Structures are given as structure tokens and as C-alpha cells.
Homo-oligomer: A and B are copies of this chain.
Amino acid sequence: MNAPPDAVVVREVGLRDGLQILARTVPTAHKIAWLRGAHAAGLREFEVVSFVPPKLMPQMADAAEVVAGALALPGAVVSVLVPNLKGAARALACQPHAMLMPVSASHAHSLANLKRTPDEAVAELAAIAAARDRHAAESGHRVKLEVGISTAFGCTLQGRVDEAEVLRLVQAALAAGADEVGLADTVGYADPEHVKRLFTAARAAFGERIAFGHFHDTRGMGVANVWAAWQTGVRCFDASLAGLGGCPHAPGASGNVATEDVAYLFASMGVPTGLNLPELLRLRGDLAQWLPGEPLHGAIARAGLPKTLQPAEVSA
């Protein structure tokens, strides 16, 4: 127990998962300022946009500009969400480091979200992987392909989601060309024992290719679930500044687990993240100004840092 613990990567997904659910459209300049502030606070991985049709989601109409802004940050690893082959083609033209395609473990959620069954989504993924390979051959730039298994812990539409079905889809996604897979609690149904059990099973079967966890804090279990997945060896977690996002069906409920709370969890445990907590909290103040009236979430911003965690210690 004397070796320093592995570093953890916190990936800021607020610009994608947080903003896509808001009614308002955030100006590109604020998105770039958010990215710069996050970078200054030590964040290096960002999921910045979703390549959905701008007609459906005007919040993401500036996707290409935002990707370019993120790529300009030194050392940034930039990923984008692509729901289908069409979106992947637009994404590849922007040369991000990674594309993430969601595959729902819930049949009902898959139909509602992607208008495809889970197996049809995996077939689309194979087509995206082929496009990615062609693009790599032509450009010399290989874009990493990630899959997030959505609703892996339950679904607001169908209720329970079978763990065997999650593992089957992980296997299918890897066979279809995904480099890495994460398990996502899209709707905030997971509890920490469930997280521990499912990540343990998935990592036993697929090893390090089960690479990240994505947890919503809708019902207050977000931090516990991050810690649960961390105990199974996962070292990358999605999070959103101020827990931005929420759910249209649960007024007041938070969205993704808050970046600053995840940063605080790991700082408290002595796990290096490279994040500077006071800087994150300052950026949260900026966000409040950019999104007047929008409910922000997260615990550490309310209470402040404890005496045992001095600024020198939080910037590991």
C-alpha cells in the first residue's frame, strides 16, 4: 500500500451530455471559454459535442468549431459522440482523437434514442468502424472508437436491464471494432453493489478494454458508484461540471455526477487526478453566469474544501 495509487482521468462531458438537454443554446464563445477554464483546472479529456443533425439539436450546431477549439488546447484528448454513420462522417472530418457511439442495453431505450434495436446499433457501429479505418488509411490519423453501453444499470422505459445482455453487447461492440467500452448509468438507476458486480464481470471477461464509467447522480448514488467502479480497477470517469444535465422527467434532479465532486472524492482518497479544485470551483462560478437560472448541482461547491485538503494537495 506504499506505492502511489494509479492516476485517475476525469473526462469532462458537460459540453455534450450537460448542454444537450438544456432548452437554451450556449454561444460558442462560452463553450470555448468553458473548455479553456477546464483545461486550466487540469482537465485533459473532453467529450465536447454530439454529431446529431443540427435541426434536431441546435445546441450542437457549432460542433465543428467546438472540436477545433478543444483540439487547440495543449495535451487535450478530444472525443465526440456519434449516434450513427452520418454523424461519424461529419466527426471524422474534424479529426477528433476519439468517437463515442452509444449502444443501449435496453431495447426500449435503444428504439427511443437511436431508432434502432441494440443489434442494429451494433451493425451501425461496424459500419462506423469501417469508415474510421478508411479514414485512417487515407489520412494517417486513426480515431479511437469507443462505445458507451447506455442504460447498462436499468432504464426509465423498460425498468430492469439484464446483466447478461449488457455483457453480450460489450462482446458484440468489441467484435464490431470498438477499441474500448464503458458502462453507463444513463438514467441514474445504478447502486454501488450493482456497479461493482457488473464492472467486475465485464473486466473479468474483457479486461482493460472496459475502460470507463459514466454515472448520473440523479438519485444521489453518483459518487458511491464512481468509487465502486474504481474499486474494480476502472481509471477513467465521465463527469460534468456542476452536475449539469438533469432529466426532463425529474425536475431538480441532477445529471452527470459533478466533475468537482469526483475531483474531491479522489483528492480526499489521495488518488492523483491532476485537477485543481479551487480552479474548478472558480470555473463553476463562470458557468453560473453563462447559464443564469439553470439549476447547478454538486456538494463540494456548497460546503467548500475541508481544512485537510489544502490547495497544494489538490493539485496532484
**Interface of A with B (CB < 8 Å)?**
154-156, 159-160, 187-189, 191-194, 217-221, 223-224, 227-228, 247, 250-254, 258, 261, 264-265, 268-270, 298-300, 302-304, 306-308
Q: What's the Cα separation between A155 and B26 when bound, in Å?
A: 41
| CB closest residue in chain B, given A305 | B219
| CB closest residue in chain B, given A304 | B250
What are 25 A-B pairs with beta-carbon distances under 8 A? A156-B307, A159-B307, A160-B308, A187-B306, A188-B306, A189-B307, A193-B268, A193-B269, A194-B269, A218-B303, A219-B300, A219-B303, A220-B223, A220-B258, A220-B264, A220-B298, A220-B300, A221-B223, A221-B264, A221-B265, A223-B223, A223-B224, A224-B265, A247-B303, A253-B304
| CB closest residue in chain B, given A217 | B299
**Contact, CB under 8 Å: A154 / B265:** no
How many copies, total?
2
Instruction: Report which residue of A220, A264, A269, A270 has the largest number of chain B beta carbons within 10 angstroms of its beta carbon.
Output: A220
Chain B nearest CB from A295 CB (Å) reads 10
Interface of A is mostly: loop
| CB closest residue in chain B, given A298 | B220
**Contact, CB under 8 Å: B191 / A265:** yes
| CB closest residue in chain B, given A309 | B189
**Contact, CB under 8 Å: B308 / A154:** yes
Known pairs A155-B307, A217-B299; list 11 more (Cβ under 8 Å).
A156-B307, A159-B307, A160-B308, A189-B307, A191-B269, A193-B269, A193-B270, A223-B223, A223-B224, A227-B227, A254-B299
Chain B nearest CB from A160 CB (Å) reads 5
Q: What's the Cα separation between A269 and B228 when bound, in Å?
A: 13
**Contact, CB under 8 Å: B154 / A307:** yes
In the complex, what residues of B have CB within 8 A of residue A250's CB? 302-304
